[in-house]
Amino acid sequence: MKCIVIDDEEIARVIIEKLISNNKNLNLVASFNNPIEALKYLNQHTVDLIFLDINMPAFTGFDLLQTLKDAPKVILITSNANFALEAFEYNSVVDYLEKPIAQARFDKAVEKAKLFANSKKELPDLPVTTAVNESKSELYVNIYKRLVKISFDGINLIEAKGDYILIKTDKENYTVHSTLKKIEDKLPDELFLKVHRSFIINIKKIVDIEDSSVLIGKTVVPVSRSSKPELMKRLNLL
């Protein structure tokens, strides 16, 4: 695949170029420290893949993506994880790499790009509400196009509110455009339990249990009849 690099930092470009040289599927045809110059090149030449830095002064990677009418596949590169969810709002973006980049992770992104390099089919829509990192210990939620990390241990409960969910944590509450079902699939079963059609609770945060309700912090949460046996099974009863 013919590729180019766009990054205003010389050291970063050198590192990416080295990663490219170590991948047999890539052919580096140009490298730019200025996105405007890269745009001029792309208007006259065809490439299969762009390695694009997001954080560039005056004209960002997102600015360039919005300018390109028929963009090739793009792998975004940045040192700021807060842009991850916004990145996948662009159909041309196949992956997102955070600096520093390991060769194995780089090659994995290239392999993904290779699957779509010769296809005009757009990438399927990717979830823009939540993402879970590989350690399975934290959740990322999109709040006004800002990626906020929430530790699983810090979540008290999650409440469904129509097309949104309310995530209550030890420090702050977050309203996210999602469903209870979507977030339930991303939560560890050993820590969370859906106790009602509108509530998921962190069982470690239970303060008190009475009849058909539990107290989580200062919030009384109803427990459905069908969920109560599983809840009692999870508790370490004396």
CA 100 to chain centre: 17
Residues 156 and 168 sit within 8 Å (Cβ to Cβ): yes
pTM: 0.52
Q: Which domains does the chain have, with CATH numbers?
A: 2-116 (3.40.50.2300), 130-234 (2.40.50.1020)
| 172-206 burial: b if 16+ Cβ within 10 Å, else e | eebebebebeebeebbeeeebbbbbebbbbbbebb
Task: Report the chain (238 residues): mean pLDDT per 10 consecutive residues.
Answer: 94 95 96 92 92 87 83 86 63 84 93 69 40 59 71 93 87 85 88 94 92 90 92 78
- Identify the pLDDT of residue 119: 47
pLDDT at 123: 41
Query: Residue 106: how many CA atoms within 13 Å on its side-chain side?
Result: 20
The pLDDT of residue 85: 57
Per the listing, tokens 């010389």 go with 10
pLDDT of amino acid 137: 79
